[in-house]
Chains A and B, each alone.
Chain A
Amino acid sequence: MISGEEGSAGDPSETVILATGGYDHTIKLWQAHTGNCQRTLQNPESQVNALEITPDRQRIAAAGYQHVRIYDINGSINTAVANCEGLTKNVTSVGFQEDGKWMYTGGEDCSARIWDMRKGSMQCQRIFQVSAPVNCVCLHPNQAELIVGDQSGIIHIWDLKTDHNEQLIPETDAAILSMAVDSAGTFLAAVNNKGRCFIWGLGGGTNDEPTRLNPKHKLEAHKRHALKCRFSPDSQMLVTTSADQTARIWETDKFEMVQELTCDAQRWVWDAAFSLDSQYVVTASSDGVARLWNVAEGSIKREYTGHQKAITALALEDVARD
């Protein structure tokens, strides 16, 4: 370790950000390596359905009932600095374009939306209506296609530039609960309420060519609802979380399970995130505790205790080291 490291710990762009939110209407910011809670932000009158840190690492967006609230991570105000409103139901997912130009949300009002984040600009305001509540939205790393999963089990691939969209149904009568595309844009994973996980290889998606999906794997990932899936930054692993009180790690070569993250106290696992080197995973659970696991050992390294109720969302923003 470089001795000057401690000094730069105060620099926001060099600080690891770990945030959790849940049913107690708060968002907590943690010092990830010690497990200390640093700040508690208020998210009044709503649980936190999803958390996302802005690409500039300055702010965090919390999707809740009828709102997306945006908080200053490094400021001193414990309430939102911006409030996105005009929505009628739960907002289930939120994310940002990599330059922070726009934000995307998906919600139970059966729509996915693109919010222009530039002041006074309406240039890239978009809405995409589907016929069922939207449970999850993820952005293709090419930053131009939004993948929307809904309650009726349909996956929509929405081309933002052309407004064209394609649909596919991996399994009938099963709600899509979470989807993820790896950073290299090679895989799409989707999990549903029957605990199944579908993997597609992604083709096309460059220039004006639409993305094609080639079915690759179908995993019986969990016995109960699968709630979230995430690829590791190196695309070598996939984590799925579930109502069966476990999170499972799958390697992305043959998609076989390599680790199961579970302990007696853990309840439903709602969310998970990898560290930048893919060695650690942080999970959020209904027992009100977030846990940091060593993936190789499957052991708990840190616990983040402080939430009064279930934790349903987390966001981790690790920092690369030279």
Chain B
Amino acid sequence: MALYDNKHWLLSHIRHSFIFSDESGFSEMVMMDEDLRVPSMKAYPDLDQDEEDEDGDAPRSLDVNCDLDFGAHRRRVNTAQKLEKMDLERKRIAKMTSIKWEDPLPNVAEVPSNAFERKVLDNAKKDKVKRTSTLSAQLKDCPVLLKNPFFDYSKFDGNAQVGVPVKRYIIFLTMLPERERNYPLHVTIVNTAKVKELVGLVLWKCSEERNAQLEDESAYALHIAEDDGEVDWDFPCLDEKEVVSKFGFNYLALVQKTEVLKSRAQTVSMPLSSLGWSALAERDEKEIEGAEESALQQQAMKEAEMRMKGHMTAMEAPLYQSFQVYILNRVRVRSAVHLGISGEKIEIDPVVQHKATSQLWGKRKAATYDITRIAACELVNQRSSKSHFRLVHQSLTEDPTTTFKTLEFEAENFVAQEIVQKINHILELRATPVWKEYLVTKERKSTRRRSFSFSLK
């Protein structure tokens, strides 16, 4: 390393090393005091002349690594890649003739040349010949093609690009008829495209290759999927404004947005961001009703699928999940809480509220109920958007005869449904003595159910 002879390099190196490796900061302080700031590379013009290797841009310190060459391992990989690239380039150039500019001979005008003879233009000829055009004829023969509404997205097709970074996806098309669904679409897209454009590209390919009847691109969303095509409903759809290169998933599913809402309402999961969902749920309800009226047959077909989903729900029930609900106190004042449900316990955490009224009325302490103490969970009543549900648990008194207490909650309809379903699955699964006892009590008192529910309070 002849570079070590260079005093500028050494000076720069010492300064860098001090600043980067002296944790006490003392040397830096000393240098600061002496107004010896880190010099810029350009301050040493003779350095650039010394640099004959390609690492001309490298910092003048062993401790400062270019991010590309970070660590010994990466460095080798980069070298290999570089070599490969150079090799390819060499091969490419071998096929390419290189024409170097050479300045003409100095006495150019005297060199006899027939290359620049003036051509006589026959102006009379131009009037006689009426030019015809193959392009015109072809355009006439090829009437205006029915334009694919997704055509504009075709420009994002990575297969039509060269030298542009692309991403490859395998996309399952859940909106196609059953028998075509098993054949996912292979899509290559340029890295810079947005998710929305990926949706458009998929629809374009889909309409070109499968002749599918499709709605416009806003009706579809992309979800993460398993390699067998099963949609992973635990995650929301990919944000359509995001760039595709951000997502590392290879398997995606194109889903009609109405399907998404149904699956959300019918199966489980999804942390709820309280607002907005009620509106969605309402719309969803209407759509489900509409679907039921118009296509009962379809519903029957889906039943089997639904039963399957029901099993899945049961299996997933013990997994921890948190819901945002309202707890109702005795005077029916609502206060927001997080209801955390898992196979082991149920937790109630009050949501911090800043309003004075809610603090006055709805002050709640966090509480945890072991699942062995939970007796039941049931829907009490259902209104247009909110449902009222009740959690029955065993009180903690030392009283040998079990007494049951209740907690009242209110939540969006489908959240409530989901919670009740989830808790009941857990209870069935666990089959705790309390649950059994409660069932027995309930049966025994079923004739006097009204009074029973009063006595609980």
Contacts and interface: CB of A to CB of B under 8 A. Distances in A.
A, B bound: yes
Interface of A: 1, 14, 16, 24-26, 32-35, 37, 40-42, 44, 77-87, 97-98, 101-102, 113, 115-116, 122-127, 141-144, 160-163, 183-186, 205-208, 233-235, 275-280, 288, 292, 301-302, 305-308, 316, 318-322
Contact of B109 (A44, A162, A233): A162
A276 B134 contact: yes
A32 B138 contact: yes
A186 B192 CA distance: 48
A35 B160 CA distance: 14
Interface string B121-150: 101001000111111111101101100000
Interface in B51-108: 92, 95-105, 108
Contacts of B136: 275-277, 279-280
A302 B111 CA distance: 50
Nearest to A116: B115
Given A26-B162, A276-B131, A161 B120 contact: no
B96 A79 contact: yes
A319 to B, nearest CB: 4
27 contacts: A33-B141, A40-B160, A40-B162, A78-B162, A79-B96, A82-B98, A82-B99, A83-B97, A85-B98, A87-B101, A125-B105, A127-B103, A143-B117, A143-B118, A144-B118, A144-B119, A161-B117, A208-B118, A233-B131, A234-B130, A276-B134, A306-B160, A308-B161, A316-B135, A318-B135, A320-B132, A321-B132
A127 B105 CA distance: 10
Contacts of B113: 123-124, 161
A277 to B, nearest CB: 4
Contacts of A279: 133, 136
Q: Give the residue among B104, B134, B139, B164 with the most A Cβ atoms within 10 A.
A: B134
Contacts of B144: 301
B454 interface: no
Q: Report whether over half of chain A's contact residues are helix, strand or loop; otherwise say mixed.
A: loop
A206 B118 contact: yes
B103 to A, nearest CB: 6
| A-B interface, 9 closest residue pairs, ranked by CB to CB distance from nearest | A86-B101, A33-B138, A277-B133, A276-B133, A124-B115, A160-B116, A319-B134, A125-B104, A161-B116
Contacts of B162: 26, 40-42, 78
A319 B137 CA distance: 10
Contact of B120 (A125, A184, A206): A206
Contacts of B131: 233-234, 276-278, 320
Given A25-B163, A126-B104, A301-B139, A185 B134 contact: no
B151 interface: yes
Contact of B139 (A101, A143, A280): A280
A146 to B, nearest CB: 10
B374 to A, nearest CB: 58
Q: Give the residue among A40, A97, A113, A115 with the most B Cβ atoms within 10 A.
A: A40
A83 B99 contact: yes
B116 A320 contact: no
The range of chain B's interface size is 35 or more
A319 B134 CA distance: 5
Nearest to A302: B139
A60 to B, nearest CB: 15
A84 B99 CA distance: 5
Contact of B95 (A77, A141, A235, A308): A77
A34 B162 CA distance: 22
A127 B101 CA distance: 10
B432 to A, nearest CB: 62
B152 A82 contact: no
Nearest to B125: A184
B154 interface: yes
A320 B132 CA distance: 5
A38 to B, nearest CB: 10
Given A122-B102, A206-B120, 14 more contacts: A14-B134, A16-B138, A26-B162, A82-B98, A83-B97, A84-B100, A97-B115, A116-B115, A125-B104, A126-B104, A141-B121, A161-B116, A233-B131, A234-B126
Interface string B159-177: 0111110000000000000
B198 interface: no
A77 B92 CA distance: 10
B337 interface: no
B190 interface: yes
B190 A143 contact: no
